[in-house]
Structure 1
Amino acid sequence: MLGRSVGVRLEVEGAGVAFAGVREILANADIAVANLESAVGVTGTPAPKAYTFRAPPEAVDALALAGIDLVSLANNHSLDYGPGSLAETRALLAEQGILSPGAGPDRAAAHAPGLIEREGLRIAFLAYVDVPVERGGFDPRTWTATDEAPGVAWLDIATIAEDIRAARRSADLVVVMLHFGLEWELEPSDKQREQARAAVDAGATLVIGSGPHVLQPLEPYGDGLIAYSLGNFVFDGFWDPANDSAILLVELTAAGVAGYELVPVTIVDGIPVLTDSVEGTP
């Protein structure tokens, strides 16, 4: 979340500040992806909800400098400043060559995979959201994209299975990014397990979770790997254990997951920095 105090630092100190502590490890990755939990830009007005996030345009420069190739927009903040702001966010990302699955001008765009090819391996990234009604009564489900209206890709097991099968026709591997679960819970809920495992059962090789704001366990499952929640990353205003985080490094081959490693990170004043260990890292 590159707004609030982090957004001010981007404007004052420059785009390089946000990922300075982890840039080297991100730059060494063939593909780097993240959940972008805010609108980006200057347009729109805040939605009637308890928390609304919008980052300045410099946030996209920060993502590009860090080597981020793709961000999920399937979350409960991508439309915080309305459909016009979502369009601006997607346009700013596209200008930097950053893919943004999970939200769009209609259902087809929101459900369309982001496709990245590296060393002959073509990978499709799909993104979905399923989070509870927020404090104050706002229901993120009302942002679900339809054939006629912009919005997010809502997490539905049957639909995900369809999308994964379709993506496999044009990709060697499918990665699914899920913004789901309950905030502050250190263990995934039964619903999270059902949803993530269903994605693997349908053909996903890797499931990357966000939403709880804290780290949750990794789970090798079937032919895939599930990271139920990687916690926060660039995010201010939280306290331990929400400042404990990690970068998940995954080696992918045509056969699937060949290896993985969690690199511990701690968040200092909203900015991630590498650390030797993080209490509670699974």
Structure 2
Amino acid sequence: MSTDNKAIRISAVGDISLGDHPVCVGHGMRSTFSKLGFRVLEEISRCFDNADTVIANLETVTSDLGLKPRKLASFEMRGNPEHLSFLRQAGIDVLCVANNHAMQHGEAAFWDTVSNVRDAGMDVIGLESQGRTNVHAISHGSVESHIFNVSMRPEEWAKDKTNLPYSNRQDRENLFAEVKRLRASCTGFLICSIHWGLEFLDYPSPSQVEIGRALIDAGVDVVLGHHSHVVQPVERYKQGVIFYSLGNFVFDLWSESTKQTLVAQVELEPGQRPKYSWVPIVIDKDFRLRIADQATKASVDSLLSWERFEKMENKPSTDEEYVERYKSEELRFRYSSYRYFLKNIIRYPPDFLFQSLARTAYRRLTGT
């Protein structure tokens, strides 16, 4: 897109799932959009009114290609392509597809998702092309700014992990070299949307801080992180800005920490450091997005505070310590999923309920 104003305004949000989470099958996001439609997003859509471009991370395959409607593994974490129109109606312009769920339902469904997003009127970034990720270009004045998307999460679903259709980056030095090439071909601002880190911790790991700052040093102006499902701090580093995690946006997780989120707003003007602000948002009990009340606003503001992170007591000093913290949070999340499942057991379609119980029993017996 283009704008006559030399300054550009980017709004960004975190993870979007249009499918039902395995623990919410039958009443998760796909089911909610089928029932409520655009009302899921209606209240917060005005937060995008002043943005030139709105970017989000599409965390689930959104394709019915290969769908077996009564098979749990085929149905879970799979969005209805028709529901993409609600994202566009809300004002979202660009969706990122480089993440650890991209290949969950196979490569054909991945490419069908890309086609469906474009048919809905949105651009797609995070696609691999000859060792380089694609970009979304924004022309403003005499310059052109670029937004790109990569994932640093290990690939979980594809058998062939060497020829992925999305931009997976496991080697940080190669990533930094790629960023320098992107910087050299970009006359305006360079924005990086990155899927990284571990889940459920409301602060970044030591290596994330290193990588985030190195991205700025390599030429990125704004880093927009996601994957943790919870909000993490924003850091002003040199001339750049790093949002370590924007948390969830449209998602059917159940814990309170995963329901607190934000719309990040960044203003970029040539010759100036990026300006940034945010609008605190809450995911309601029915998964509708609301402007946060004062208590939630205070919590989101605190989570985004770099000062809070710097003053943390017993802050992990190594990635190994950070992983141990994650294991504890992951175990807590798993037990909370059992409680949620039992509390909502009557909401599950019988076929899916039986399959879910059988799969849980199998995993407990085999340790997988």
- The TM-score, its normalising length taken from structure 1, stands at 0.86
Q: Counterparts of 1:200-279 in structure 2 under 5 Å?
A: 200-255=216-271, 257-268=273-284, 269-275=286-292, 276=294, 277-279=297-299
Say whether residues 1:83 and 2:107 are aligned partners.
yes
Give the corresponding residue for 1:12.
35
Indicate the larger mover: 153-162 or 174-183.
153-162
Give the corresponding residue for 2:178.
163
Deviations 1:223-246 (A, max 9, x none): 100000011111013211111111
Q: Report the alpha carbon displacement of residue 153 of structure 1 after superposing the two structures with TM.
A: 2.5
Give the Cα–Cα distance (whole angstroms) in 2 for the partners of residues 8 and 49 of structure 1. 16
Partners of 1:45 and 1:82 within 8 A in 2: no
Give the corresponding residue for 1:115.
137
Partners of 1:265 and 1:273 within 8 A in 2: yes
Matched residue count: 271
Give the Cα–Cα distance (whole angstroms) in 2 for the partners of residues 195 and 45 of structure 1. 38
Deviations 1:147-202 (A, max 9, x none): xx534422432232233222231341111111111111111001111221111110
Say whether residues 1:57 and 2:74 are aligned partners.
no
Partners of 2:63 and 2:110 within 8 A in 1: no
Greater RCO between the two (CA within 8 Å, min separation 6)? Answer: 2
Give the corresponding residue for 1:37.
59
Change (3 A) 1:245 1:53: same
Give the corresponding residue for 1:135.
none
Gaps of 5+ in 2: 1-16, 21-27, 305-368
Letter in structure 1 aligned against 2:182: A
Q: Report the alpha carbon displacement of residue 103 of structure 1 after superposing the two structures with TM.
A: 3.2
Give the Cα–Cα distance (whole angstroms) in 2 for the partners of residues 192 and 198 of structure 1. 10
Q: Report the alpha carbon displacement of residue 12 of structure 1 after superposing the two structures with TM.
A: 3.2
Q: Report the alpha carbon displacement of residue 50 of structure 1 after superposing the two structures with TM.
A: 11
Give the Cα–Cα distance (whole angstroms) in 1 for the partners of residues 268 and 54 of structure 2. 13
Partners of 1:250 and 1:259 within 8 A in 2: yes
Gaps of 5+ in 1: 133-137
Partners of 1:107 and 1:151 within 8 A in 2: no
The alignment's C-alpha RMSD in Å is 2.6
Counterpart secondary structure, 2:125: coil
Q: Report the alpha carbon displacement of residue 11 of structure 1 after superposing the two structures with TM.
A: 2.5
Counterpart secondary structure, 1:21: helix
Give the Cα–Cα distance (whole angstroms) in 2 for the partners of residues 222 and 69 of structure 1. 29
Counterpart secondary structure, 1:163: helix
Partners of 2:151 and 2:167 within 8 A in 1: yes
Indicate the larger mover: 89-98 or 198-207.
89-98
Partners of 2:144 and 2:188 within 8 A in 1: yes
Give the Cα–Cα distance (whole angstroms) in 1 for the partners of residues 226 and 143 of structure 2. 25
Give the Cα–Cα distance (whole angstroms) in 2 for the partners of residues 145 and 220 of structure 1. 35
Say whether residues 1:94 and 2:118 are aligned partners.
yes
Say whether residues 1:199 and 2:246 are aligned partners.
no
Give the Cα–Cα distance (whole angstroms) in 1 for the partners of residues 186 and 167 of structure 2. 23
Indicate the larger mover: 269-278 or 50-59.
50-59
Counterpart secondary structure, 1:22: helix
- The TM-score, its normalising length taken from structure 2, stands at 0.67
Structure having the larger proportion of residues in helix? 2
Give the Cα–Cα distance (whole angstroms) in 1 for the partners of residues 115 and 289 of structure 2. 26
Partners of 1:245 and 1:281 within 8 A in 2: no
Structure having the larger proportion of residues in strand? 1
Q: Counterparts of 1:175-186 in structure 2 under 5 Å?
A: 175-186=191-202
Of the three residues 153, 163, 188, the one matched with 1:172 is 188
Change (3 A) 1:118 1:40: farther
Deviations 1:83-119 (A, max 9, x none): 0111111111112332211135x554x6122222345
Q: Report the alpha carbon displacement of residue 73 of structure 1 after superposing the two structures with TM.
A: 0.7
Partners of 1:144 and 1:151 within 8 A in 2: no
Q: Report the alpha carbon displacement of residue 40 of structure 1 after superposing the two structures with TM.
A: 0.6
Counterpart secondary structure, 1:182: coil
Q: Please tell me whether Structure 1 or Structure 2 has the larger radius of gyration of its CA atoms.
A: 2
Partners of 2:194 and 2:224 within 8 A in 1: yes
